[in-house]
Structure 1
Amino acid sequence: MSDVIPFWIAGTPAHGHDPLEVSHPHDRTPVGRTTHAGPEQVEAAVGAAHAVRHETAALPVHARAAALDHVARRILDRSEELARLITAENGKPIRWARAEVARAASVFRLAAENARTWSGEVQRLDTESAAEGRLAYTVRVPRGPVLAITPFNFPLNLVAHKVAPAIAVGAPVVVKPAPKTPLSALLLGELLAETALPAGAVSVVNVPDSAAPDLVADPRLPVISFTGSGPVGARIRAAVPQKHVTLELGGNAAVVVCEDWSDTPYAAGRIATFANYQGGQSCVGVQRVYVHRSRLEEVRTAIVAAVESLGVGDPTDEATQVGPLINEESARRVEAWVEEAVDAGATILTGGRREGTTYAPTVLEDVPVDAKVSCEEVFGPVLLIHPVDSVDEAFALVNDSRYGLQAGVFTHDLRVAFRAQRELEVGGVVIGDAPSYRADQMPYGGTKESGEGREGVRFAMTDFTYDRVMVLTGLPL
């Protein structure tokens, strides 16, 4: 089975009997073969994580940090290989795949840095006479092994955002990568196996989505970190209310272009790029654009021009900025949603065409508020433009959504910026840029149906742990 890519059970390569073929979304050519783990192999991975949970938690900080630093270096050593693998299995243009690889290396580096500074808190208790001579020492300890369920759209970096914080706090982790894009996660498993982490600290297993509920229900995995669709996240949360569940779900991210914004080409370029850069398959990709009516014609013209300038096509081409969707089913769904909006009165300003798995970057206006492309997560290269007469109206429309992940506000007015942070019902507000901006060290997550909990290395470390206090008595304070 030399040409079959292994999965990883407790740091050891393994193969199953059920084949998993991975093909290129652009032209459906085969790009790699692996296998699904059998029930006994899944049991071995979960059992190993459970068995080493105390050993992993007791691992010295320098050992955790050394493992994380090693993986960061090895990702960079194999960066071009990883980037081309992401492009092959995901269809992401090579320029964006390289950016994803660089970010994944940064996540492991940040986790190593945070592991070294992750410390406890000392608190004197003799504020009352009854507690004289007592001192509390509080540390955060792992809740237990983590089940990390990751999506197809960032097949390396979103795995890194779950694995690296788990290692940093001393929690074993079992990764279930997306069946459509498992290959880059499996290569990451290879790099993790090179470290001196305890056997069982990390497993990367291919599990069909149909078998995932058994993993979710396993009591030996008390922490679930899931990134994916809203309906699946809701089912997970309902199925295991006793577990600690972190959900990074969908969005239909909005941008507000205020009357005072002076640099229209910049705003238009950022909006166009980040509505389309992953084929629109980003939960913080631009979907709704609210423009002050006094600037509408200027901004609309600039956005359409910027969208039409994007290179579309073969994702291995260095000039390509917009590649295919993950499969033809997804592209057909986007096509149907746009047609539905047009039938309801929307106008296509550019785009609106599908060729196989590729849907042309599309700009719509006059979209009814109840059209799917407005109120659902389109997860495709489609944005809509809507005029507003005030900041009040714009912010109300941003909030008129079941989702609340991130929003962007193009303004030079600090009062509007702070008002946006105060009033917009989202996990993150980006001023002067598109909502798609994410620094890997900042807190990232949403509200409403966009999820619960936070990623961002140190924030995920907090999510994976809980406070444990020790009281020392009889001290000469």
Structure 2
Amino acid sequence: MQAAILYPNAAASLLINGQWLASGASMQIHNPFNNEAVSEVSCADDRHVLQAVKSARQAFEKHRFLPSAERAAWLKGAANLVQQRLEDFARTIALETGKPIQAARKEVRRCINTLNLSAEEATRLCGETLRFDSFAGGEERIGYYEQVPLGVIAAITPFNDPLNLAAHKLGPALAAGNAVVLKPSQQAPLSALMLVQALLENGLPPGQVNVLTGYAREFAQALVSHKDVAMVTYTGGEASGEIIAKNAGIKKLAMELGANSPVLVMDDCNLPKAVAACVSGAYWAVGQNCIGVQRIYIQRSLYSAFKQAFIEQTAKLKVGSQLLDDTDIGPMINEREAMRIEQWVEQAVANGANLLVGGKREGACYYPTALDNLKDSDRLVCQEAFGPVVSLFAFDDLDDALAQANSAEFSIHGAVFTSNLNTAMKVSRELDVAGVMVNDSTDYRLDAMPFGGAKRGSLGREGVKFAIREMSQTKVMCMQLDLD
């Protein structure tokens, strides 16, 4: 059964100047579980890029001085409409990504929160007065700075959180007063289209958001390099991020390019809670999560007990259709990705790793898997797995464990489980990450908090308040008084 697609026509997925349009080429969106076609979208080309950017630029010039209350109203209204259509949005996310329906419902609730946060921050975006008299010669000057929008923002989003990550681009951009050209994931564009439709139904002016669907290789270069695009915000893989950075030219960039999240488990932790949090953090959303648990370093005295409990809980997870309420693990985004994970696991085992649980593939479904005795050179250790696979390591010395945890080139979150405040503070200080979760999984994220990378590839911050600052710039007004 297909989800309700709540934009005017499944094939007319290009939004330009407030009109849903079809193109001469289209592509199908498939349910990863059974590969059945879910819907169809149009494929944009360079000609559509020119139209979309022109539309966005004209909308920005026309509406750049709209009251913040009006921008907030678009976002609040869209949040209310998403709430009313929660089940339709959740089913669409599940169908296009393979995300289990329970996880999809959580994503919709997060999207609602993101939109409401954006609406609130739209009315809080302000500057401050400046003391020009703090330096000689400024005694008769007064003034202030304010935050003003950049202009046209190109936003490119991934498949793993197709709705909420679109909201994390659109919400802050609109709150700051920008216009947007959105390129949703080619594998999972449907829920993002539904979100844009909800904005349109709540008064969003034509051209304020334009949408281009299809294959990024056909038009992304023209989009990111366009001289009228003031900023590119991108969430996705490193290879594509590097191409975007090379093509964008001199403009603002914000990128989140993935991670390889480490967790440290101390022998003074609450073991049941640590195991449960690590299992959830590793396999939530089928492991296709940039802050999902990937490497777990366990103090040796606790290693056997942790490993046994982790295996037992992992083995209980139910794999199957993402549309069933009791499914824990649905399919990956496609069979090709499941085959990649299968290959990485087989390579690690051939290299001496022990397969503890899982290691089985059925089509696009890869069973939740854990290994130990891995080598630092194994892909599952040194690269981002982005799948339902976890590596376990025993350690004796905390400093050595921290060095191993910090060995990955990409990082966003890390975590530590301990009852010792000093240990928690030491790990929080020395983990080379952008966020440390104490007695919690690395995959915890509050949509209001700053979010981004800490190492190579780290460009800017998301999190509504912080993204709005990225998507605006300061403008100073200085007045010289004539007091004589």
Same fold (TM over 0.5): yes
CA distance in 2, matches of 1:420, 1:192: 43
Change (3 A) 1:5 1:323: farther
Shift of the alpha carbon at 1:3? 5.4
User: Counterpart of 1:7?
Assistant: 14
Q: Tell me, yes or no, if structure 1 residue 153 matches structure 2 residue 160.
A: yes
Spell out the pairing of 1:265-280 with structure 2 (5 A cutoff): 265-280=272-287
Contact 2:434–2:454 (CA<8 Å) still a contact in 1? yes
The correspondence for 1:221, drawn from 196, 219, 229, is 229
Q: Tell me, yes or no, if structure 1 residue 205 matches structure 2 residue 212.
A: yes
Q: Which runs of 4+ in 1 moved over 6 A?
A: none
The correspondence for 1:34, drawn from 41, 46, 55, is 41
Shift of the alpha carbon at 1:5? 4.9
Contact 2:13–2:211 (CA<8 Å) still a contact in 1? no
CA distance in 2, matches of 1:22, 1:84: 14
Shift of the alpha carbon at 1:198? 2.8
User: Counterpart of 1:93?
Assistant: 100
Shift of the alpha carbon at 1:15? 1.2
CA distance in 2, matches of 1:438, 1:46: 32
Contact 1:5–1:32 (CA<8 Å) still a contact in 2? no
Residue ranges of structure 2 left out of the alignment (5+ in a row): 1-7
CA distance in 2, matches of 1:316, 1:119: 44
Q: Tell me, yes or no, if structure 1 residue 364 matches structure 2 residue 371.
A: yes
CA distance in 2, matches of 1:356, 1:449: 34
User: Counterpart of 1:397?
Assistant: 404
Q: Which amino acid is 1:409 matched to?
A: V
Shift of the alpha carbon at 1:394? 1.5
Shift of the alpha carbon at 1:287? 0.6
Spell out the pairing of 1:14-25 with structure 2 (5 A cutoff): 14-25=21-32
User: Counterpart of 2:465?
Assistant: 458
SS, match of residue 117 in structure 1:
coil
Q: Residues 177-213 of structure 1: CA distance to partner in whole angstroms, max 9, x if unpaired?
A: 1111111111112112113233211012114121211
Shift of the alpha carbon at 1:299? 0.7
Contact 1:151–1:227 (CA<8 Å) still a contact in 2? yes
Q: Tell me, yes or no, if structure 1 residue 143 matches structure 2 residue 150.
A: yes
RMSD: 1.5
CA distance in 1, matches of 2:53, 2:170: 15
User: Counterpart of 1:187?
Assistant: 194
Shift of the alpha carbon at 1:395? 1.0
Spell out the pairing of 1:121-140 with structure 2 (5 A cutoff): 121-140=128-147
Query: May I ask how many residue pairs the two structures share in their alignment?
Result: 476
User: Counterpart of 1:307?
Assistant: 314
Q: Which amino acid is 1:347 matched to?
A: N
CA distance in 1, matches of 2:11, 2:93: 17
Change (3 A) 1:38 1:235: closer
Shift of the alpha carbon at 1:412? 2.0
SS, match of residue 70 in structure 1:
helix
Change (3 A) 1:475 1:408: farther
CA distance in 2, matches of 1:57, 1:121: 20
The correspondence for 2:254, drawn from 234, 246, 252, is 246
The correspondence for 1:46, drawn from 43, 53, 71, is 53
SS, match of residue 274 in structure 1:
helix
Contact 1:122–1:138 (CA<8 Å) still a contact in 2? yes
User: Counterpart of 1:318?
Assistant: 325
User: Counterpart of 1:237?
Assistant: 245
CA distance in 2, matches of 1:51, 1:417: 51
Q: Which amino acid is 1:149 matched to?
A: I
Shift of the alpha carbon at 1:454? 0.5
Residue ranges of structure 1 left out of the alignment (5+ in a row): none
Contact 2:225–2:249 (CA<8 Å) still a contact in 1? no
Contact 2:319–2:367 (CA<8 Å) still a contact in 1? yes
CA distance in 1, matches of 2:183, 2:140: 49
Q: Tell me, yes or no, if structure 1 residue 294 matches structure 2 residue 301.
A: yes
Shift of the alpha carbon at 1:127? 2.2
SS, match of residue 451 in structure 1:
coil
Q: Residues 93-144 of structure 1: CA distance to partner in whole angstroms, max 9, x if unpaired?
A: 0000000000001100000111111112112211234211212210111222
SS, match of residue 82 in structure 2:
helix
SS, match of residue 403 in structure 1:
coil
User: Counterpart of 1:407?
Assistant: 414
More displaced, 116-125 or 342-351? 116-125
SS, match of residue 141 in structure 1:
strand
Shift of the alpha carbon at 1:450? 4.7
Q: Which amino acid is 1:157 matched to?
A: N
CA distance in 2, matches of 1:299, 1:311: 21
Contact 2:46–2:222 (CA<8 Å) still a contact in 1? no
User: Counterpart of 1:382?
Assistant: 389
SS, match of residue 229 in structure 2:
coil
SS, match of residue 443 in structure 2:
coil
Q: Which amino acid is 2:82 matched to?
A: I
Q: Which amino acid is 2:143 matched to?
A: A
Contact 1:137–1:470 (CA<8 Å) still a contact in 2? yes
Contact 1:250–1:449 (CA<8 Å) still a contact in 2? no
SS, match of residue 462 in structure 2:
coil
Q: Residues 228-247 of structure 1: CA distance to partner in whole angstroms, max 9, x if unpaired?
A: 00111122122334111101
User: Counterpart of 1:81?
Assistant: 88
Change (3 A) 1:339 1:95: same
User: Counterpart of 1:112?
Assistant: 119
Shift of the alpha carbon at 1:153? 0.6
Aligned-pair identity in percent equals 37
Q: Which amino acid is 2:257 matched to?
A: L
Shift of the alpha carbon at 1:214? 1.3
Change (3 A) 1:232 1:39: closer
Q: Residues 22-77 of structure 1: CA distance to partner in whole angstroms, max 9, x if unpaired?
A: 11000011111121134433322110111222333211111011111011101101
Q: Which amino acid is 2:423 matched to?
A: V
SS, match of residue 170 in structure 1:
coil
Change (3 A) 1:215 1:2: closer
SS, match of residue 146 in structure 1:
strand
CA distance in 2, matches of 1:274, 1:100: 15
